[in-house]
Amino acid sequence: MGKETASKEDTLQNKTNVSKKGFLRKLLTLALCLFIACGVSIFFFINELKSMNDYVVPKMLTPYELKSGMSAYEVIVDLTQNDYPDYMAYAFLKFYKGEFDNIQKGPYLIDGTKTLKEILEDMKNGAIYEVEPLRALIVEGLSLPLMLNALNKSENLEDDSAECLKDPKKFIQAGLDDAFSLSNKKGEIDFKKTKRLYPESVNSLEGLFLPATYPYYKGDGACKVLRSSFIKMAQTLQAEWEKRDTSIPLQNPYDALILASIVERESSIDKERPLIAKVFYNRLEKSMRLQTDPTVMYGVAPDFRGSLKLSQLRKDTPYNTYTRDGLPPTPIAMPGLSSILAVLHPEDTKAFYFVAKSHDPKDGHVFSNTLKEHQQAVRDYRKKVREYRRAQK
C-alpha cells in the first residue's frame, strides 16, 4: 500500500509540474506576443509620426484662412484631411513640445510643395500670403460719366459709386478733410490751405479725380478708388499750385484745374501742352474768348464724342467758349499731371491761335501769332483732311 500511495503522489506531482510549465510557457508566449505587438505598434507609431512630419499638404486653389482662436491641433486635422487618427495630431504637437502653440491668424499659401511642419512654421512666424492687388485705371481726358462707366467695368470691383457720389458737396468736404489730415501726418508739405482748395460753391465732381492706376482688392467698392483718386488730386494740385509761375492770370487752384482739363482735351502731346496753355493765357489777357471746341462738346453732353455741327457751336450754354467770356464754370474732363503742370508753368509764346496739322492727332498743331497766319493754317489743315479722305476712298 505504501508504495502504491507514493507512486500516485509522484504521478500527481509530475502532472502539477507539467501544468506549471505549460502555464509558464503560455505566459511567456503571451508576454512575447505583447512585446512584439508593442514593438510593432511603436514601430508603426514612429513611422506614422515621421510620415506626418514629412506630409506634403495638397495644393489649395485659394489661400488657407487661419481664423482667430484656431489651435494647431485643429489646423493639423484640417490640413491632413483625416489621413491620420486624431491622436496622432496630439502626438505630433507633443513631439515638438509646444513649438506651435502660438500660430498667427491670416491667409497662408498652400501650394502643394510645403510639408505640414513647414506650414505650421509659417503660421508660427506669421508669414501670411500677401494677396496681389488688382488695378483700376483712371484715364486722362475722360469726363466724369465716361470715367465712372470705365471704372465700374473693372474686374471684381463693386459698383457703389452712385451711393458714394450722391452728395457731391459732402464727398468733396470729406475728401479735402482726409487730404489735409494725411498730408499733415506725413509732414512733407504744409497743407494749411488744402481745406480751401476748391471754392465752397463747387458742386460738381468733374475734374476732381487724378488719372492714375489705383490698387484695390476683390470685394472693394469703386468708392474706395474714387476717394484715393480725389485725395491724390487734392494733394497734387495744392503742392503744384504752391510752386506755380506767379505770372499766370488765375485766381485759385480750381481755375487751374478748369484750364488744365481744356488743355488735356486739346492735345495728347506733352510738349505741346505748355504752348496751348500759354495761347489761352494770351487770349484771356487780351479779353478774347477761348473759342475751344472741347468745352462746347461738354456743354452739349459731358460724354459727347464726334464732330460739332454749326448749330451746336452757336448754341449758348455755360460751356460755350465761343459765346461766353472767360473760363467755363467747371472742368470738362479729368486732367493728368502733365496738363496741370503745363497750366502752372506755361511756355513762352506770342501765339493766339492753334489748329491741327492733319487728321492724325499725333501730328500735333500749328501755332500762329496772327489771325491771317491762323486762317492759312486752317486752310492747309482742311486741304490735308480732304486729301486723306480721298485717299481712304
Three-state SS at 195: helix
Please state whether the predicted TM-score (pTM) of the whole model is above 0.85: no
308: Cβ contacts below 8 Å, ≥ 6 apart: 293, 296, 297, 300
Q: How far apart are CA 66 and CA 129, in angstroms?
A: 11
Neighbours of 167 (CB within 10 A): 12
Residue 42: the pLDDT is 58
State pLDDT tens for residues 170-183.
Answer: 999 999 988 887 76
Of all residues in the chain, the percent with pLDDT exceeding 70 is 85
pLDDT at residue 381 tops 90: yes
pLDDT at residue 345 tops 80: yes
Residue 21: the pLDDT is 66
Residue 10: the pLDDT is 60
Q: Which of 82-86, 92-96, 211-215 has the lowest mean pLDDT?
A: 82-86
Give the pLDDT band (50/70/90) at residue 37: low
Q: How far apart are CA 191 and CA 99, in angstroms?
A: 50
**Are the CB atoms for 138 and 151 separated by under 8 Å?**
yes
- CA–chain centroid gap for 317, Å, is 38
State pLDDT tens for residues 228-270.
Answer: 999 999 999 999 999 999 999 999 999 999 999 999 999 999 9
pLDDT at residue 335 tops 80: yes
- CA–chain centroid gap for 143, Å, is 22
- Strand 353-356 versus strand 213-216 pairing type: unpaired
**Are the CB atoms for 128 and 108 separated by under 8 Å?**
yes
Over residues 130-137, mean pLDDT: 88
Stated length of the chain: 393
Residue 48: the pLDDT is 76
**Are the CB atoms for 362 and 296 separated by under 8 Å?**
no
Q: How far apart are CA 174 and CA 284, in angstroms?
A: 34
State pLDDT tens for residues 106-115.
Answer: 889 899 999 9
Q: Could you tell me the sign of the dihedral formed by the alpha carbons of 10, 16, 19, 23, in that order?
A: negative
State pLDDT tens for residues 275-301.
Answer: 999 999 999 999 999 999 999 999 999
Residue 228: the pLDDT is 95
Over residues 350-359, mean pLDDT: 94
**Are the CB atoms for 239 and 189 separated by under 8 Å?**
yes
Give the pLDDT band (50/70/90) at residue 8: low
209: Cβ contacts below 8 Å, ≥ 6 apart: 138, 144, 147, 226, 229, 230, 233, 334
Got the DSSP string for 2-64?
A: HHHHHHHHHHHHHHHHHHHHHHHHHHHHHHHHHHHHHHHHHHHHHHHHHHHHTPBPPP-SS-E
